[in-house]
């Protein structure tokens, strides 16, 4: 029996990286999935991978910044599977720029995707969860929402916002049998982090220079992040509510 047996799960940002790894792992644990992303081809590929593994997943093209898209992805999950048991708001984008060089358009894009997207997902997810009388929310924030890192003021602010938003949900809806927690990765090897690395002009070998700041001396894998997300998404974490769970190889400890 899987840890998400027959659970209806919606994952945003499921076309790539942590979202794709989580989708594949959750499916193996018995979840029925709605995968949402703006990347149609890669999102459909995630669904196909899950199908080949014997799991159940449907992709829906969705932009988390658009309220009607978010409402529809929640509705589609309920139409397909009868409920929304777990909502994993994971879609996000990075921005590495010092504040004085950041344009308003860049600020708006990051805040819209990383924070507004989570707000909208939670708004429609919680409406459904209140009807059902239960639900679990996992929001991907970042270790960067807890500790400041170089050249990421807007990204870090967006993720700090996700953490605080999530804590308020834990307080406001715990009494309605709805839990909300954050996954806070440090450096996980995904498309996003490859862009981070380009920015720092650290190409190869990643372990030698980039990972000097990581006590474990290597980046995390999407699969490692997915396992932490699974813990927050299933009953193993039944008494965990409002936490920002850091998986960063120890960066934030120093
Ligand atoms: N990789 C890391 O080291 C790291 C560290 C801390 C936090 N995170 C967070 O983890 C999450 C997943 O990132 P990742 O590393 O897997 O990156 P990724 O780039 O591989 O995946 C992000 C996904 O989000 C999707 N997305 C972007 N904008 C969207 C939108 N408007 N609507 C729907 N989907 C959208 C992308 O298409 C992509 O598939 C993000 O929230 C990111 O901020 C990642």
Structural domains in the chain plus CATH codes:
8-188+221-246 (3.40.50.720)
Distance CA 119, CA 138 (A): 12
- Residue 140 CA, closest ligand 1 atom number: 41
Query: Ligand 1: does its nearest atom lie under 6 Å from the Cβ of 87?
Result: no
Query: Ligand 1: does its nearest atom lie under 6 Å from the Cβ of 221?
Result: no
The CA angle 47-25-124, to the nearest 5 degrees, is: 70
| pTM for this entry | 0.97
- Residue 159 CA, closest ligand 1 atom number: 43
pLDDT tens track of the chain, all 254 residues? 999 999 999 999 999 999 999 999 999 999 999 999 999 999 999 999 999 999 999 999 999 999 999 999 999 999 999 999 999 999 999 999 999 999 999 999 999 999 999 999 999 999 999 999 999 999 999 999 999 988 899 999 999 999 999 999 999 999 999 999 999 999 999 988 777 777 665 545 444 456 778 999 889 999 999 999 999 999 999 999 999 999 999 999 98
42, 192, 216, 242 from 229: Cα distances, Å: 21, 18, 20, 14
Q: Whose CA is nearest to atom 1 of ligand 1?
A: 188
81 is catalytic: no
Query: Ligand 1: does its nearest atom lie under 6 Å from the Cβ of 15?
Result: yes
Secondary structure of residue 43 in the 3-state scheme = helix
Among 81, 124, 155, 173, the one annotated catalytic: 155
């Amino acid at each position: 029996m899987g840890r998400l047996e027959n659970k209806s799960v919606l994952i945003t940002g499921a076309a790539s990286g942590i979202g794709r790894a989580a989708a594949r792992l959750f499916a193996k644990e018995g979840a029925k999935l709605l995968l949402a992303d703006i990347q149609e081809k890669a999102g459909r590929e995630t669904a196909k991978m899950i199908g080949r593994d014997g799991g159940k997943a449907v992709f829906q093209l969705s932009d988390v910044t658009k309220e009607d898209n978010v409402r529809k992805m929640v509705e589609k999950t309920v139409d397909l599977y009868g409920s929304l048991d777990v909502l994993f708001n994971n879609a996000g984008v990075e921005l590495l720029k010092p504040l004085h060089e950041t344009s308003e358009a860049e600020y708006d894009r990051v805040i819209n995707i990383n924070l507004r997207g989570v707000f909208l997902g939670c708004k429609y997810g919680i409406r459904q969860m209140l009807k059902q009388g239960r639900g679990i929310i996992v929001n991907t924030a970042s270790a960067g929402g807890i500790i400041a890192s170089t050249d990421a003021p807007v990204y870090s602010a967006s993720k700090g916002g996700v953490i605080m938003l999530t804590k308020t949900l834990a307080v406001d809806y715990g009494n309605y049998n709805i839990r909300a927690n954050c996954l806070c990765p440090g450096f996980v090897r995904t498309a996003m982090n490859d862009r981070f690395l380009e920015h720092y002009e650290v190409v190869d070998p990643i372990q030698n220079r980039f990972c000097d700041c990581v006590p474990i001396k290597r980046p995390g894998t999407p699969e490692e992040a997915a396992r932490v997300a699974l813990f927050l998404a299933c009953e193993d974490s039944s008494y965990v509510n409002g936490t920002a769970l850091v998986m960063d190889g120890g960066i934030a400890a120093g």
